[in-house]
Structure 1
Amino acid sequence: MIRLIVLLAVLLASAPGLPRQLAAVDVSRPGALEELAGLPCYGYLDNCVLLEAGRGGTVIELDPGLPLFAVYGGRDAGAVRALFQDGAARLVQLDAAGARNLARAGCEVVRLPDEPFPIRPVKAPCLPRQVFQDTFVQRLVNRVSPDSIRARMARLEDFRTRYSPTDSCRRAEEYVRDYFESIGLDSAELDCYPVGTDTWRNAVGTKVGRVHPEKILIVCGHMDAISEDPMNLAPGMEDNGSGTAVALEAARVLAPEELELTVKFIAFTGEETGLNGSDHYARMMRARNAEIVGVLNFDMVSWPGGAWGVSLVSVLPARQLVLYEAAMAEMFTPLDYRISHRSFPSDSRSFDQQGYPATSGYEFGPQPYIWYHTTGDTLGNCNMELAADVAKMAVATLASLAVAPAPPAGFRLADAGNGTGLVASWPANREPDLAGYKLLWGTSSHVYTDSVQVGPVNSHRITGLQSGIEYFATVVAIDEAGHQSGPAPEDSCVPRDVPLAPSGIGCLPFRFGNGIIWRRGREADLEGYNIYRSTRPDAGFARLNSALLTDTTFRDSGLLADTMYYYRATAVDSAGHESPASVTVRGKPITLDHGILLVDETRDGSGAPGSPSDAQQDEFWHALLAGYRYTDRDVATEGLPLAADFGPFSTIVWHADDYTRQEIAAVIPGLANHLAHGGRLWLVGWKPVLGLMGGGTYPFSFAAGQFCRDWLHLDRAEQSGTNDFTGATGRAGYPSVGVDSTRTLPALQGRLIYVDALLPADAETILTFNSFSGDTFQGKPVGVRWLGGPHRAVAFGFPFYYMKQAEARDVARKVLDDLGEPYGIEDEHPEPEVSRPIPTIVRGRINLQSAICDLRTPVTLLDAAGRRVTTLGAGSNDIRGLSPGVYFLRTRSGQVHRVQVVR
């Protein structure tokens, strides 16, 4: 009874994370799900995914206080009003009693999450291209026994009910674990997971691979059951003692064999209450970044229903796995089969959602199973011969995949340079019984018309090709028994006489110079590269290198400040043939002498509260920066700034004060390069961390190599999803700042949602969250600074435009003071004496006379507006980095001298 109360509490729990609207977006066409990768998702239906409204699709109105379910089938299917229907899936909101009653009435009821998870498209599995009548596989198929399957199902029926909350289900879990131990698997365990305050368990057996233990195959079925009286009697033989027995029979057959891949045999619980067990397990495997080759799930496979076969289903990207499974059915069993592509509402869906290839096998015949989710679902209604044929298909699929060599880990085609040949290369496989490789190629992608078998080598020259024609190729590994691996990733190349132009060329500025990088060419006879430079984008290019460059980087030093340079690269082969020029890239050296670059990434709105126009944003920010030297950069009209655009500026102020779009991820390499050379950054906006990460779901944790860790010195970031932020309390000398209710949407009542808490690694907290309700975000850092050098950075986790302007101005002054930006004219002597002696400039060096100043003291150079440009230390006179123009030299005694710098 206690466990039932726990389950009811879980079903009845409110849904605090559900928004008021969702959008059902169709992903049935090829590539559709991949286009949504990383977006927050609230669940999969048959052919649609549920996203936040505003992503297209059909908008669905929700009650945020009720849980969301996908409901399938059932005897009272028409009794519930659906918010949306997608194929067999009906989207509904129910209380606990409603959900329980639907399940007892024969419906498949899948609880959808309250909080979103990131979409992870399934990566297509890499499986063998050919199957054959393998004697090893046939021997294992012959060991599958209908009597063994009957014994396993009968023992499961003995527990009377396997409803997940019951004690008898606990005993059934222990039975399955003990069975795995008894047949000699390498390990058997009960995988625990929380449900409310209770703990439920999956039974997991493992056969460890001897060559590739990191590569995992899974065969599974849910062992829990439900009926109209689940606490007392839920025999669940077709649903799903049959699928569980298939997994157990596969374990019995494969346990004594030597396999190259690891195979896991799993009996899940919690399927009938919302895929609880498999969802936990799939999430755990994804968190471990487990390499799952494929998942074979079976759910109701012993009812013929007027036909002898099995329905096989997968999402579209996993179609190769379901086709392979069907090929095994055709070769080793009398089963008919039907293939479809959608997200099936069984344990395979949990793996779909984590990006793993998975299939489900289920009832095939046209006659429905009338004892579904009833106390009549007993062993006497099931057909052991059909279940055995399904088990044979599963064993054949697992065995053939578990003994095949792994696909070669990489593959590369290179131009031989003679116009008629290509050189293929790949890393060696590590199987002890490796016999060699088969190289396949053709003139269409994934259509190979020619092949050659080679021994255990790592490269091969393909000859007799047509010059100028693109060829596609791959390679498979072959062991001594003739088993073939899946293909390596396909590559393509064109045989030519002349090298291709270098690709991937880029420019990263450094202090008074530019670094040029490009990708290494793919020609086998490549000798090196040339780099050309001009100060015009379309003409005047001159070669910089006297000898061919053998590396793929070049540093161009000693350049003029505030000058844009343009670069092109060419490749040269052993015959002296030079390629066409690469695309042109540009770079302006880093000088850090032009003040602030104000980057406006905020979406231009209507001008209404909560939707500021471009003019309103400019007015706000210009008021904050009054007295500072700054240059505007509007992303909407000028595009995102490149690395070359940052160079002249000492500080980048980047604001993205809207929550619908974040674009900063595209410029992170250039921004990081700027900071690495002493630049400074002030970043503010809505969801700034999401922007820096390029997508994903809060909370985020940061590791070395990520921008937030390396340059902002953050450890983690969280987000307040409630309308609760009223402002920030200043720390470390910063003033406090509050939300301006006249700028926000009226519905927000002077508060903000989607505010990022920035949790430091070794950055310093400067602003903390002020919560209207006093919730758990109260006092969390929302502003941090790093002043430890060589760069400086300040980041705010909230949109600054919506703050009270006078308070915002005070905060801005403090930020820019921390970043070292001079304010106004640095002149402690308002009426300086201009003296007669004139300094002279020769070859970028300023020559001073003792009559002008004490040569042992520093002097300051000001621009025409009186702002400090640089300070020359005692005895220093190098000003080669200065842009042409008029400057003023101020001595310590207050004298000012006019200086003109020319090229």
Structure 2
Amino acid sequence: MAYVSSTRPLLAAALALAFGAASAAVPAAPDVARHQAQIDKIVIEISPQRIEAYVRKLVSFKTRHTMSETESDTVGIGAARRWIKSEMERCGAGSRLQVAFDSHVAPVSARISRPTEIVNVVATLPGAQAASKDRIYVVSGHYDSRNTDVMDAKGDAPGANDDASGTAAVMEMACVMSRYDFDATLVFMAVAAEEQGLIGATHWAEQAVQKKLNIAGMFTNDIIGSSRADDGRIDDKQVRLFAESIPATKEMSEPVRTLIATGGENDSLPRQLARHVKEVGERYVPDFKVSVVYRRDRYLRGGDHMPFLARGFAALRFSEPNEDFAHQHQNVRTEGAMQYGDLPEFNDYNYIAKVARVNAAALASLSLAPAAPQQVEMRTDKLENNSSLMWKPNTEPDLAGYRIVWRETTAPQWEGSMYVGNVTEATVKLSKDNYFFGVQAVDKDGNTSVATYPTPKR
């Protein structure tokens, strides 16, 4: 059987012994490490100049506070959302990109002083493969802004980094990727009222549940604009990717209970998605690290991925490596030599483009690949040092087969893999006591799905 081992020589030797005799029985594995030409083109086309233009246009609306002006064409959140929609319609003209408002009225709450219309701008690129088009990947940034007083709907709140940076990245991805075909569906969202309590994202995520949408993955990009720390250090070589393990809920669901029972706290749906994003992002964006942080978000803080997590979807947050709080949630002012405020001159547009490229590469890879295998189980009917896995077959017409991936229990990333062909059961001569396993679906072009963690077969 074709396999890629970890660098550990003993593991490689064990695999060679276990599978060498059977190699003729399995077709050659697709090249899962090669660059896909379509993804390379998308990554190259992401433009820091266009991203900067989007950010500066968003800043020009003075404030995008959720309860700010909606009638003006030049000031306030109403003008901002109409411009975002028209710009995505313009750049998606002639493509299959469908742009619409998603609107509801939020009642009075802790950060909403009067009933307020909350409007998300949603651009949908339908999948082109019948077997995959109902599988959806969502990417968002929030276009609302705030200054020091979260209830101040009139004062200037430029929000260049928080979160015009994420909104501009999402707009750029939508415009570039609308020119390409993908098997699964992509949704690009500029969401509102993040600063007032994640209201826009919560509404859309709840609607996804009510409509029984198959949200296979969600990214939010929030505060991805600056490569400069508050002490002046420049770090433009990495982005933080926050990935939740066990959700902090009062009651434990059966899937979570199974994760804990098998030691799989690091194999939650978000962590599996993060592994995939890191592998693909670092492949297509050279000299740039995706630093997976084993937390839902920054310490006791949150973002628009959290409503998706709360509803059981795999969701992640991208954020710059070092936040500068003088340029976040601050009234624009000068104190001595210090300039406060979230102004566009403090952004690094080449850095934002790198983060957008990681997003785009991951989204493209996920939406070109087959779905993650379902009903993956580990056999437990006898005591043995082998590990036998079984799964339900995929239905995609371009499916090539499956591969089993593994890592030692202390390792964060997959360390080895074995292509097993188009089968629904396979055995690895490695002990389930000592390794974690996953199963990925692979198409004929070498696109791989997120790995699925096995549950015990009783």
TM score, norm. by length of structure 2: 0.68
1:251 counterpart residue number: 174
Q: Could you say if the C-alpha distance between residues 373 and 349 of structure 1 is closer, same or farther in structure 2, counting changes exceeding 3 Å?
A: farther
1:221 counterpart residue number: 141
User: 1:200: Cα distance to partner?
Assistant: 1.9
Given that 2:161 and 2:342 are in contact with CA atoms closer than 8 Å, whether structure 1 keeps it comes out as yes
In 2, the alpha carbon distance for the partners of 1:230 and 1:282 equals 26
Structure 2 residue 186 is matched with structure 1 residue 282: no
Gaps of 5+ in 1: 1-129, 494-502, 504-903
Write the mapping of 1:403-552 to structure 2, written as runs, cut at 5 A: 403-411=368-376, 426-438=391-403, 451-454=418-421, 456=422, 458-459=423-424, 475-488=439-452, 490=454
1:698 counterpart residue number: none
User: 1:223: Cα distance to partner?
Assistant: 0.2
In 2, the alpha carbon distance for the partners of 1:176 and 1:411 equals 42
Structure 2 residue 117 is matched with structure 1 residue 192: no
In 1, the alpha carbon distance for the partners of 2:201 and 2:242 equals 17
Which residue identity lines up with residue 214 of structure 1 in the other structure? D
Secondary structure of 2:134's counterpart equals strand
Given that 2:146 and 2:329 are in contact with CA atoms closer than 8 Å, whether structure 1 keeps it comes out as no
User: 1:253: Cα distance to partner?
Assistant: 1.7
1:699-723: CA deviations, max 9, x gaps?
A: xxxxxxxxxxxxxxxxxxxxxxxxx
Q: Could you say if the C-alpha distance between residues 420 and 285 of structure 1 is closer, same or farther in structure 2, counting changes exceeding 3 Å?
A: closer
Q: 2:184 aligns with which of 261, 274, 277?
A: 261
In 2, the alpha carbon distance for the partners of 1:137 and 1:319 equals 23
In 2, the alpha carbon distance for the partners of 1:326 and 1:230 equals 38
From the two aligned structures, give the one with the greater strand fraction. Answer: 1
1:395-433: CA deviations, max 9, x gaps?
A: 11111111111123334677999x999997644322232
Given that 1:416 and 1:423 are in contact with CA atoms closer than 8 Å, whether structure 2 keeps it comes out as no
In 1, the alpha carbon distance for the partners of 2:435 and 2:344 equals 57
User: 1:356: Cα distance to partner?
Assistant: 2.0
2:48 counterpart residue number: 146
Write the mapping of 1:16-415 to structure 2, written as runs, cut at 5 A: 133-166=35-68, 167=70, 168-182=76-90, 183=92, 184-196=95-107, 197-211=115-129, 212-227=132-147, 230-305=153-228, 306=233, 307-308=235-236, 309-316=238-245, 317=268, 318-331=270-283, 332-336=285-289, 338-340=291-293, 341-343=295-297, 344-365=301-322, 367-370=324-327, 372-375=329-332, 376-411=341-376
Given that 1:242 and 1:300 are in contact with CA atoms closer than 8 Å, whether structure 2 keeps it comes out as yes
User: 1:358: Cα distance to partner?
Assistant: 1.7
Given that 1:236 and 1:373 are in contact with CA atoms closer than 8 Å, whether structure 2 keeps it comes out as no
User: 1:361: Cα distance to partner?
Assistant: 1.8
From the two aligned structures, give the one with the greater helix fraction. Answer: 2
Q: Could you say if the C-alpha distance between residues 369 and 389 of structure 1 is closer, same or farther in structure 2, counting changes exceeding 3 Å?
A: farther
Secondary structure of 1:219's counterpart equals strand
1:604-638: CA deviations, max 9, x gaps?
A: xxxxxxxxxxxxxxxxxxxxxxxxxxxxxxxxxxx
In 2, the alpha carbon distance for the partners of 1:290 and 1:437 equals 25
Q: Could you say if the C-alpha distance between residues 388 and 414 of structure 1 is closer, same or farther in structure 2, counting changes exceeding 3 Å?
A: closer
Secondary structure of 2:179's counterpart equals coil
In 2, the alpha carbon distance for the partners of 1:198 and 1:223 equals 16
In 1, the alpha carbon distance for the partners of 2:213 and 2:106 equals 24
Q: Could you say if the C-alpha distance between residues 135 and 420 of structure 1 is closer, same or farther in structure 2, counting changes exceeding 3 Å?
A: same
Secondary structure of 1:190's counterpart equals strand
Secondary structure of 1:271's counterpart equals coil
Q: Could you say if the C-alpha distance between residues 250 and 333 of structure 1 is closer, same or farther in structure 2, counting changes exceeding 3 Å?
A: farther
Gaps of 5+ in 2: 1-31, 71-75, 108-114, 246-267, 333-340
In 2, the alpha carbon distance for the partners of 1:355 and 1:420 equals 33
Secondary structure of 1:304's counterpart equals coil
Given that 1:448 and 1:473 are in contact with CA atoms closer than 8 Å, whether structure 2 keeps it comes out as no
Write the mapping of 1:698-717 to structure 2, written as runs, cut at 5 A: none
Given that 1:445 and 1:472 are in contact with CA atoms closer than 8 Å, whether structure 2 keeps it comes out as no
In 1, the alpha carbon distance for the partners of 2:223 and 2:408 equals 44
Given that 1:302 and 1:382 are in contact with CA atoms closer than 8 Å, whether structure 2 keeps it comes out as yes
Q: Could you say if the C-alpha distance between residues 349 and 448 of structure 1 is closer, same or farther in structure 2, counting changes exceeding 3 Å?
A: closer
Q: What is the alpha-carbon root mean square deviation over aligned residues? A: 3.6
In 2, the alpha carbon distance for the partners of 1:406 and 1:420 equals 30
Secondary structure of 2:63's counterpart equals coil
Write the mapping of 1:459-858 to structure 2, written as runs, cut at 5 A: 459=424, 475-488=439-452, 490=454
Structure number with higher relative contact order (C-alpha < 8 Å, ≥ 6 residues apart):
2
User: 1:310: Cα distance to partner?
Assistant: 2.4
Q: Could you say if the C-alpha distance between residues 193 and 397 of structure 1 is closer, same or farther in structure 2, counting changes exceeding 3 Å?
A: same
Percent sequence identity over aligned pairs:
25
Q: Could you say if the C-alpha distance between residues 427 and 151 of structure 1 is closer, same or farther in structure 2, counting changes exceeding 3 Å?
A: same
Q: Could you say if the C-alpha distance between residues 235 and 424 of structure 1 is closer, same or farther in structure 2, counting changes exceeding 3 Å?
A: closer
In 2, the alpha carbon distance for the partners of 1:387 and 1:443 equals 34
Given that 1:415 and 1:421 are in contact with CA atoms closer than 8 Å, whether structure 2 keeps it comes out as no
User: 1:374: Cα distance to partner?
Assistant: 2.6
Which residue identity lines up with residue 481 of structure 1 in the other structure? D
1:542 counterpart residue number: none
In 2, the alpha carbon distance for the partners of 1:218 and 1:407 equals 16
User: 1:443: Cα distance to partner?
Assistant: 11
In 2, the alpha carbon distance for the partners of 1:374 and 1:470 equals 54
Which residue identity lines up with residue 61 of structure 2 in the other structure? F
Aligned residues: 359
TM score, norm. by length of structure 1: 0.36
1:434-490: CA deviations, max 9, x gaps?
A: 223335689999999783532x4x456769x79xx9999764322121112234552
Q: Could you say if the C-alpha distance between residues 440 and 492 of structure 1 is closer, same or farther in structure 2, counting changes exceeding 3 Å?
A: farther
1:811-857: CA deviations, max 9, x gaps?
A: xxxxxxxxxxxxxxxxxxxxxxxxxxxxxxxxxxxxxxxxxxxxxxx
